[in-house]
Amino acid sequence: MKEYLRKSLFNALQKGLKGEPKLLQVIIGPRQVGKTTLVLQLYDKWSGPKLYKTADLLNIPTVDWIVTQWKECRSLCQKRKRESLLVLDEIQKIPRWSEAVKKMFDGDKRLRTPMRVVLLGSSSLLMQKGLTESLAGRFEIHRHNHWSFSECKEYFNLKLEEYLYFGGYPGAIPLRKDEPRWARYIRDSLIETVLSKDVILMSPITKPALLRQVFALCLAHPAEIMSYQKMIGQLQDAGNTTTIAFYLRLLANAFLLAPLEKYSGSKIRQRGSMPKILVLDNALISATMGGGFKSTLKNKPFWGRMVENAVGAKLYPLVRELGGELFYWRDRDNEVDYVVQIGQKLIAIEVKSGSPLKTPASLNLFVRRYKKTKKIIILQPAIIESEQDRIEKDIRRVKLQDFFSNPYKSIGL
């Protein structure tokens, strides 16, 4: 099978490794989305001295391991008198890794060693903590997220409904014709690996069984607003709301979930809100909830949740990449699925996957409270055609396929 090149990500990394300033190139993102594959594609094209090493070993290395690899690459650079490339994968596993990187990077600067360095990690919390504590002003971040619908369509010939069910993990998609095998791969190679290795590295887990229960509960309620008290009522060994909130943050930093806050225009009020649970790839839901692709399509209420979740999971990284935030909004029975805030720009988004279109009272109420808000409804093409006259003129109508094909353009980001 021909290897796929994620061109925009590849070009951004390649650009970062050329010219000035010479910054550390840091790649973060979920497991199994092709971070290492993409770096090795660039590594293969590198004409000068190069060294690739991974810290994903049975015994976690110490900072001495970093120093050893760095010195080896530095020696290659000096011997061949050419710019060298050092790639260190899963570096967040090493305690105090950022301190060692800072020492070696600053040493290269003093010695004027022509080295380029790429660091990879699959834990947002551990990478960000190390970067902000020791490496301020020395790095550039590249966020590699789950594969988009356009990428999956181009390489795997996936249809939209397949993408919404099987998700954007490229290693799993070739197994989709054998659904039990596909589901086992997602559970064993992705979910179990992240829960048992990545999350535990972030922080001591006093109740690992509760962590798994929290995650399972979130998978069963995608794109739903859930109070912490309601979650406690459905868990066997619940502890308290502080513990639940902490576990949700850990799962978010492992690129599994995103608990959205309620939009209120006030940061103080937002932080106290009930979270709306986003699962960051629908494959995690499909592989654990069972039922199969065809049966899930027929379950209209649950499929509607899957579609709404997939829209949110696509919006979440895009909005953050642009320096914005993603929220939901609710006031009694009125709810807006997603609220995008980027600077002064405010966009209210409703997702309608198959149910009859209702008058968008919630959108109108939100706009009355927060002026100059752009209103968008994301719909199936058939709904747009049948309900055309019922959609108000000031509401932008976006076809579901158009959104996933080009989310930036379709909603005006």
Give the CATH number of the domain where residue 44 resides. 3.40.50.300
Contact yes or no for 150/405 (Cβ under 8 A): yes
Same domain, 249 and 385: yes
Same domain, 348 and 377: yes
Q: How many CB atoms lie within 10 A of CB 2?
A: 5
Same domain, 58 and 172: no
Domain end among 89, 116, 143: 143
Same domain, 135 and 186: no
Within a domain: 212:
yes
Same domain, 379 and 293: yes
Beta-strand ranges (E) seen in 273-318 are 276-279
Q: How many CB atoms lie within 10 A of CB 355?
A: 10
pLDDT computed for residue 230 by the predictor = 82
The whole-angstrom separation of Cα 362 and Cα 304 is 18
The whole-angstrom separation of Cα 270 and Cα 261 is 6
Within a domain: 1:
no
Q: What does DSSP assign to residue 3?
A: P
Within a domain: 260:
yes
Q: Report the predicted TM-score, pTM, of the whole model to 2 decimal places.
A: 0.91
Domain end among 118, 143, 168: 143
Q: How many CB atoms lie within 10 A of CB 18?
A: 9
The whole-angstrom separation of Cα 356 and Cα 373 is 24
For 66-110, how does the pLDDT look when each residue is reduced to its tens digit (9 = 90+)? 999 999 999 999 888 889 999 999 988 898 999 999 999 999 999
Same domain, 200 and 75: no
Domain end among 122, 143, 164: 143
Same domain, 161 and 113: no
Residue 276 neighbours by CB under 8 Å, 6+ apart: 223, 224, 225, 226, 259, 260, 262, 312, 328
Same domain, 59 and 154: no
Same domain, 40 and 185: no
Domain of residue 363 covers 149-411
Within a domain: 126:
yes
Same domain, 112 and 61: yes
Within a domain: 12:
yes
- In the predicted model, residues of the chain with pLDDT beneath 70 are 1, 123-126, 237-239, 267-272, 354-359, 381-393
Within a domain: 381:
yes
Contact yes or no for 368/329 (Cβ under 8 A): no
Same domain, 359 and 382: yes
Q: Map 244-269 to HEC letters.
A: HHHHHHHHHHCCCEEEEEECCCCHHH
Total domains in the fold of the chain:
2
For 24-81, how does the pLDDT look when each residue is reduced to its tens digit (9 = 90+)? 999 999 989 999 999 999 999 999 999 999 998 888 899 999 999 999 999 999 888 8
The long-range contacts involving 329-336, CB below 8 angstroms and separated by at least 24 positions, are: 329/262, 329/263, 329/264, 329/362, 329/366, 330/225, 330/262, 331/365, 334/361, 334/362, 334/365, 334/366, 335/225, 335/362, 336/263, 336/362, 336/363, 336/366
pLDDT computed for residue 272 by the predictor = 59
Within a domain: 328:
yes
For 185-204, how does the pLDDT look when each residue is reduced to its tens digit (9 = 90+)? 999 999 999 998 888 877 78
Within a domain: 302:
yes
Same domain, 268 and 245: yes
